[in-house]
Structure 1
Amino acid sequence: MRDHIDGHRLLQQLQEWARELGFSQIGVADVDLSSAEPHLQRWLDNGFHGAMAYMSAHGLKRARPAELVPGTVRVITARMNYLPRDTSPAWRHIEWQRLDDPARATVSLYARGRDYHKVLRARLQALADRLADAVGPLGHRVFTDSAPVLEVELASRSGLGWRGKHTLVLDRDAGSMFFLGELFVDLPLPLTPPSEPHCGRCRACMDVCPTQAIVAPYLVDARRCIAYLTIENDGPIPTELRPLIGNRIYGCDDCQLVCPWNKFAQTATLPDFDARPALQDPMLLQLWAWDEAQFLKATEGSPIRRIGYQRWQRNLAVALGNALRAGAPAVVRQALMARRDEATPLVREHIDWALAQPEGAHDF
């Protein structure tokens, strides 16, 4: 049956099916990523992956799709917009205002709705099912930030965008506010051409990073990245970086907020990424008041659930300490002290740090 496949017509059908499933765009990449291996190896050798041991454990396998899934000859790449459907045209201004208010909590935009892993994985599988119906038995495997895959490399090679200096994928018509997913297949589909880069001399993302984690263009030291520190890192947050985290309690969007291309960012077509009321514009003290049962209920089906209650409290303690530095009222100090004795050693250490912060001179 495959001998009679019109590859270009099939690719057009795939693009139509993908749009019906909520994807913004798909592309097709080759599996030869050997030219990306030196950069990956240098990144690992420098220890920029921090405590993400799985990065070093898989090593260069990330750049070898055919080793990860034997028989793979093409990777279908996909992107899906995630800005909530009711996002204001002034959304970037609104986010900057939130970051400037030490009483508020800032959760990364992508994490305010449903867990993207669940959404993309199910819809990529549906795309694979349609493809199998069209061509017959199909060797395939679906990935969404869930295996040793060089997602940005594959996305940029297949035309979903180019790698920005912050290492995220950028598209001229959609900025960077989208998720990536992959479908490894044993079908020699026609390749889609890569995008031309359009960052030029701009270094806004590098300059705005609160912790200066973008150590060079296209190179991020995860050990300094607030997204890593508040999500992937399961230990103490380095004391010298805590004041720089501000009120960011889960992830960080600064490098995307400042990017000029995100004035073209598109909203999601799916309701899954609509912000949950509890995460739309929360106050730090509201979230700090949650016990573990409330945390688990509020984050059911959310990507936030994966960090667990202890890391959630750790992150909030840091943000509350920064609020004290900014002149928070006595109720913040009282709330921290009320939780201290029952806290785990990790959380208690961050509470003690917060309580030790000097009172700020600014109006809260």
Structure 2
Amino acid sequence: MPAAGKLVLSITPVFANLSGIKMGTRTVSNEYIVTTVPFFLNPRQTVRIIPQNIAVATQVIGLNYGVTKDFAMVLTAGMIEKNLNALTFKGASGILPLGRSLPGTTSLADVTLSGVYRIYQDDVHRIQLSLGVSLPAGSYTATFKDFLLPDGTRRNIRGFYGMQPGTGTFDFLPGVVYAGYLGPWSWGLGYRGRFPLAANSLGYSWDYLLEYRLRFPLGPNPSGGYRWGDLHEFNAWGGYTWTPGLTTTLRVTGSTQGPIRGFDPEIRGPAVPANPAFYGGQRVEVFGGATISGKFIGYENVLVAVEAGLPVYQNLNGPQIMKNWQAGMSLRFKI
């Protein structure tokens, strides 16, 4: 946490890649999906469009200001870009591939504002609590241009839920961290959550879907619109300082998230990611990283942090495209 009256500016690019499809913990083929998985708006037809690869790039700027010695405010904003490679199968049935679409979306990311309070600290241990909110600055109506459909035509359609840069909702962001260090060793445990406070302004409620006899396990959403499932993320890490200003780290993170609740009628078509039930699940990832002080090159107030990792366990509500890897860095300036 910055000292009272001090500011830390961070620039954090993060890159991730997703490919391959899982149903639960089982990896399945494209052919299996298009012959067995029903299209949720028309259960008599199978899905015909399957994502093959998604590349995600985010650029986040953060401001962390020390209000007092034990309380800080953190503001983040940035841009997010997503690029999709989707395979379309011909007609209403069969396993004949028709072609691919390569759409992308880009926009501002949702803005977050949080307060962090240090409730305890001694020579070894510290505990911090955080409460924040995510503000819907990102687009959630982004469009795919010239997207290939199973009948062979290309149209402009609304991007799938997972390809939208923003959520359209105000989200509650609680968190708690315990951390400690002794000599060259450091360690910690953390939790953070993301809970949409209400559905966004798009789409229909569960009651509307029942009226049209569309049944899939999303749960009630009486306010209309849709919202992402509640997210819980747990982290545990350890670090070793080889020399003052150079620390390497190992982090394990586990997350669980529910499916999307509600439905956007403009996100349609017999595609796997058009089904709001095919989002969320459980994931465990392992990351290795390092923090390097700028003092090695003559800049005491600069810190560089790098980290990369991959999943070791995924149990997804699916069929759903699975995560392959994630890598990022953070350049921090103390002002």
More strand by share: 2
TM-score, normalising length: structure 2: 0.22
Using CA pairs under 8 Å that are at least 6 residues apart, name the structure with larger relative contact order, 1 or 2.
1
More helix by share: 1
TM-score, normalising length: structure 1: 0.21
